[in-house]
Structure 1
Amino acid sequence: MVILKGAENMTAIYARQSVDRADSISIEQQIGLCRYEARGEEVVTYIDRGYSGRNTNRPEFRRMMDDIREGHINTVIVYKLDRISRSILDFSKMMEVFGERGVQFISATEKFDTSSPMGNAMLNICIVFAQLERETIQKRVADAYFSRSQRSFYMGGPIPYGFRKIPTVIDGIHTSMYEAVSEETDVVRMIFEMYSERDTSLGDIIVRLNEFGMKKRGKPWVRQRLREMIINPIYVMADGDVYDFFQDNGADMVDAKTAYIGENGCYSYRRCTDGNKKTTDGIQIVLAPHKGIISSELWLKCRRKCSGRNAAIPSQKARNSWLSGKIKCGECGYALTAKEYDGGRRRYLRCSNRQNSGSCKGAGTLYTAQTEKLVFNEICVKITELFCTEKAAQDAERLRLENELWETEREIEGLVDRVNGADDAVFRYISDRINTLDLHGKDLIQRIKRLANEGGAGFDEKAPDMTLWNELSFEDKRQVVDTLISAVYACEGRIIIQWRI
């Protein structure tokens, strides 16, 4: 409720209810008891529904405090102390404002008189116990979660591929459990069997899955999700060997080894923050009620292989090419990453999308050194153009036309891919659109040729002087590239640069 401008010396009633339960006092009941304390005086109410008392991030509470600072309120009545605050720090700040503005604070059930020292002392003691109650509730919730997890109850989270969630009863309590989905478990088994082969990588598996047209519930497979599947004990038919594996790696085993009979999967809970992902320190293992789908021998073989190598590509500072972070795949727009092989003797640029999911055909074979030389040649041309106004304008127009031509060709390729399966109406539209784009593309090619002839031989035929460039440090080269270039798109057989200038 908004106080009318000019209103002074009002009595405020504040009410809060975080959860509407049958055993909790309602907002209306709180206001009724507070009105009795107002002894018939005119009151203004501030109500926060669905907000916790652990902090003051409540809209009506903030509005009330603003009205107090403006001098509109001289008394605040609450049903109970914890309705207005459960934090000692927040409560002390609030009472400081009350004291500065001469506002009296009344608790309808606890009968505080803040005008006396004893009343203030009792008030502070009660707020300590209010905070203790809140912290006790939090601890009780955490203990309940821990207890339920140890009893194999379903604790939420994404449903793993290969399973669906079904209702069940454990120890007389209704909960949920996993049930295998036959069409997905076949894919899961194939993934584990492929990865168990010595020379098969996660990337190889993704390529195979894409060849078969297999997706993860409509989405393409990526390395990180594939790795998470392989190390997840939810799939294993846990036996004594699985128990020994986790125990040897420092996990807390809730169930006895005799319960590991080679049938059920396992839940894995992380009890504490641990950045070392190669161990199971800080992990709690609980036998799950569902049946596993991967034999312990196969699962352990894949788990050890996955833990023994850095399966996920780590983020790291660019060091293999000064084009890193700028150069992208012209097919999908994902970044190209610089890779070194044979101790740095062979250096390539690879499409990260192709590596992670295999959903892009890639930009062909791109040698890092050759690509860097091509981009450097264009940088030399661009720098020279800055001092040649007429030629700079011509080349800028040529670049614009080339980009437009590239976009036109991309649109034509996309339309061609949609021809198969199109009905007559759609086919006619695609055919007409392709003809229009083809004519536009031919016109662009002619305009590009005319600009090339008008510009003469240009600078492409000159071998740029690499001496000064080679003297620059790696970071200096990256800084120059970042100043001049916003992005480099690499397609098979050509490079397109988007300049900042």
Structure 2
Amino acid sequence: MSAPEISRRLRCAVYTRKSTEEGLEREYNSIEAQRDAGQAFIASRRAEGWIPVADDYDDAGYSAATLSRPALERLLDDIRAGKIDIVVTYKIDRLSRSLRDFHRLWEHMTAHEVEFVAVTQQFNTTDAMGRLMLNILLSFAEFDRELDVERARDKMIASKKKGLWMHGVPPLGYDLQNRRLVVDPKEAPLVRWIFQQVAAGMPTAKLVAALRERGATSKVWTTRNGRQIVGKPIAKSLLYKMLANRTYVGELRHGTQWFPDSHEAVIDPELWAKAQAATATRPRALPSPDAPKIPFPLRGLVFAADGRAMTPWHTTKRNGRTYRYYVHTRALHESAKLLKLPRVPAGELEAAVIEQLRSVLRAPELISAILPQAVALDASLDEPQIMVAMLRLHEIWGYLAGHEQAQMLQLLIERIVVHEDRAELRLRPLGLTTFVANLSSTQPLRCPHE
């Protein structure tokens, strides 16, 4: 009977390492012994198609504490180039003594479909027992990493409880001394003035304009490594962050936790409460004719299933065509491939939402329930006319300008929650009544104060 035909040749690379150069001058040293053991193991598997590669990967005089080793780097390059199918070592610690580093190397191997064998430890990922041992080792590596994360988190929380600043650049109005926040006498009056104007009811746009006239900027800072952070004019985004930052009342944040009395407050509790009350009663900012050229009528309304906002994003191709999307906020900072939720084409989502709204607003039971409430708000409303207008919304919609359509959507919709297989539309309870009232009015759409 002829020997079974070997369908595939498996190219095997033997990696050897010795921490010191001591004894390398001997006629038969540790590196050679490791290499011979690896070659012998490969020869014993010749019937399975194992063959040695011509190159040697020997790191003599290199510690396993680092992955920066010439032969190891060359081995990884050859793995990336597809020249190796199996890596063979005398023991696992020849490759790495660190579970964490071994995990990184193993991830690199699996990404290129390369197996691993340790000759003297019965460690062979080409069979089930070897893969079981590997999973046990990697479980310990994962456990070790999680312990490190927990220790780092506990240290961070303990530091913040002691009032230590752990966030890099301090907020406007504060300076750093011995890693603690101290009030900056030059910047703190500006921060107080901002909160005072908000508490007094000054519109945000007017406040931003006043700050620009004063020449006020964001924090000017020099980092430890000497990098200069230049102050920029205070825009609405920074203003909103300042108004929501409880650091100004003497607290430090960790996740959703706030630790009180961590440092001296710039804003007293009474002024803070007035400013928060003033911002809470302001209506949602609505798009206007001066909105950005790329329209996103659902801006600020779209959220992912995990509660995070989905940000408007667009790209323009060489042919001049623009593609619009609503993108998960994390996808702007991380690899979108790691997210289960893909970016959502804006046109498709907007069309689906508008069509759903049209269906809802034409429903007889909804019309019957809403009309009495609208008439109660304004007795001058013509009930039959409003009913006809709601039933013919699809015709009215086409006559609305883009910013008017956006106003209507913002008025009616509380939020849109995008799941992997569907989108959930949540309406504003008072928005429907106000919308009906506005249908008979020539005045701009009003936003309800909920």
TM class by shorter-chain length?
0.3 to 0.5
Give TM-score, length-normalised by structure 1. Answer: 0.40
Give TM-score, length-normalised by structure 2. Answer: 0.44
